[in-house]
Amino acid sequence: MSSDCLFCSIVRGEIPARRVYEDDRTVAFADINPQAPTHVLIVPRRHIAGLKEATTEDAELIGYCQLVAAKIARERNLEDGYRTVYNVGPGAGQSVFHLHLHLLGGRDLRWPPG
Ligand code: AMP
Ligand code: ZN
């Protein structure tokens, strides 16, 4: 846990968020600036700065976030097409340095992304 981390504060419930799912390892909440009809962030409760800071100890948690995304997508009938994204580093748009998986769906998703 990091006291000055936005997503740690959301995990602790100190900053409000529209939570859509939670379990013992993760919290998922609606992105405040949605880029698609479904735009959910899946966040591990444990603070990990990002994918490039992750270690093999974090491997299961990183993969587990993908399974949580798949579960939310299934429940929302998004299985025709959705995207899960880890933005890694400022050059790829990472702005919050607590690992989070974006789940985007509910509209056509172009490839390659911008
Ligand atoms: P990234 O740019 O990949 O680091 O993603 C950070 C995401 O967090 C962005 O899509 C923001 O819109 C989102 N975000 C920032 N602050 C909040 C907040 N308080 N509640 C929900 N989502 C947020
Ligand atoms: Zn954090």
Q: Is 100 in the active site?
A: yes
- Whether 17 is in the pocket of ligand 1, judged by its Cβ within 6 Å, is yes
Confidence of residue 1 (pLDDT cuts 50, 70, 90): low
- Determine the distance separating the centroid of ligand 2 and the alpha carbon of 108, expressed in angstroms: 31
Ligand whose nearest atom lies closest to the CA of 2: 2
Q: CA of 107: how far to CAs of 39, 78, 104, in Å? A: 11, 9, 8
Q: CA of 112: how far to CAs of 14, 17, 21, 45, 52, in Å? A: 37, 30, 29, 31, 22
Domains of the chain, each with CATH number or no CATH = 6-105 (3.30.428.10)
Give the mean model confidence (pLDDT) for residues 78-107. 97
114: pLDDT strictly greater than 90:
no
2: pLDDT strictly greater than 90:
no
One-character DSSP codes across 31-99: -SS-SSSEEEEEEESS----GGG--GGGHHHHHHHHHHHHHHHHHTT-TTSEEEE---SGGGT--S-S-
The pTM is what?
0.97
- Determine the distance separating the centroid of ligand 2 and the alpha carbon of 94, expressed in angstroms: 14
Give the mean model confidence (pLDDT) for residues 65-81. 98
At 3-53, the pLDDT tens digits run: 799 999 999 999 999 999 999 999 999 999 999 999 999 999 999 999 999
- Determine the distance separating the centroid of ligand 1 and the alpha carbon of 37, expressed in angstroms: 15
